[in-house]
Amino acid sequence: MLTSQTCRIIPATLLIALLTGVAGAGNDGFVDLFNGRDLTGFDGDRRFWSVEDGAIVGQTSPTNKTTGTYLFVDSVRAVNFELHVDFQLPSGNSGVQYRSIKKPDYQVAGYQADMDVAGQYTGMLYECEGRKIMTHPGDNVVIDEAGQVTPAGDPTPEAKRKAAIHIGPGQWNHYVIIARGDHVIHQINGVTFVQVTDHDARRIRGDRIAFQLHPGPPMKVMYKNIRIKIYDSPEKE
């Protein structure tokens, strides 16, 4: 069983100063985490992760299988932030880990912004090695300290969500993850997929960002244009 760890909230200005191998902050406060050329600033099993045509590629095959592995962003730690990433999912299941804990052998525990080629889980909030499925796509909920889930507003209609995503070969999508205080938002191509206010005492508290390569049949996922804006405060300015 995991024990809670204290989140480290590091001032954004210090984090930006510590970044290595990535571009500096622009006028909008966002920092590029991926240089488009190689895996500088990332840590993962190179049997599965590479860079092709300006994108990070995670791939398995019948002869190169995984029981599940993650590519970690090593250049930054973040608790309160806005993360933008483009993804393409020709096959399989993947996700963006955040507020997570890095574990041995490229394993992880913490929040995940999910995605899958069938669209069943895309956009939902999952907690690896914790509460598993926390919300379903479209949910707008509050989770209290005891783990009780209650609606906080109207859900995003299924038709609107399905129309927003483009899954398959050659189809790029734009994921936005906003995490401030106890509130997190997942958006894909401008449509909100989940809004969650999480007060659960069991929640995993970490500061790592990572990308998932799921176990199972051969799969491929691609990521590019990975940018982050880090906030000093959990509250909106």
**Segment 6-19, tens digit of pLDDT:** 333 344 444 443 44
| H or E element, residue 16 | helix 12-18
pLDDT tens digits, one per residue of 68-90: 999 999 999 999 999 999 999 99
Q: Which residues pair with 70 in a beta bridge?
A: 212
**Band (237; pLDDT cuts 50, 70, 90):** low
Q: What is the separation of C-alpha 185 from the centre of its chain, rounded to a whole number of angstroms?
A: 11
Mean pLDDT (whole number) for 213-218: 94
Mean pLDDT (whole number) for 149-163: 93
CB 209 within 8 A of CB 7: no
**Cα dihedral 14/18/22/24 (nearest 10):** 30
CB 187 within 8 A of CB 82: no
Length of the chain: 237
Residue 130, token pair as written in the block: 């914790």
CB 84 within 8 A of CB 174: yes
The pLDDT score that the predictor gives to residue 5 is 37
Q: Which fold has domain 12-230?
A: Jelly Rolls (2.60.120)
Residue 217, token pair as written in the block: 């049949």
* Residue 156, pLDDT above cutoff 60: yes
SS3 percent helix, strand, coil of the chain, rounded to 5, is: 5, 45, 50
Mean pLDDT (whole number) for 225-229: 99
Mean pLDDT (whole number) for 142-169: 92
More confident residue, 42 or 233: 42
pLDDT tens digits, one per residue of 92-117: 999 999 999 999 999 999 999 999 99
Backbone φ, ψ for residue 96 (5° rounding): -105, 115
**Band (159; pLDDT cuts 50, 70, 90):** very high
* Whole-structure pTM value: 0.88
Question: Cα–Cα distance between 186 and 138 in angstroms, integer?
Answer: 10
* Residue 135, pLDDT above cutoff 90: yes
CB 14 within 8 A of CB 25: no
| Domain definitions of the chain by residue range | 12-230
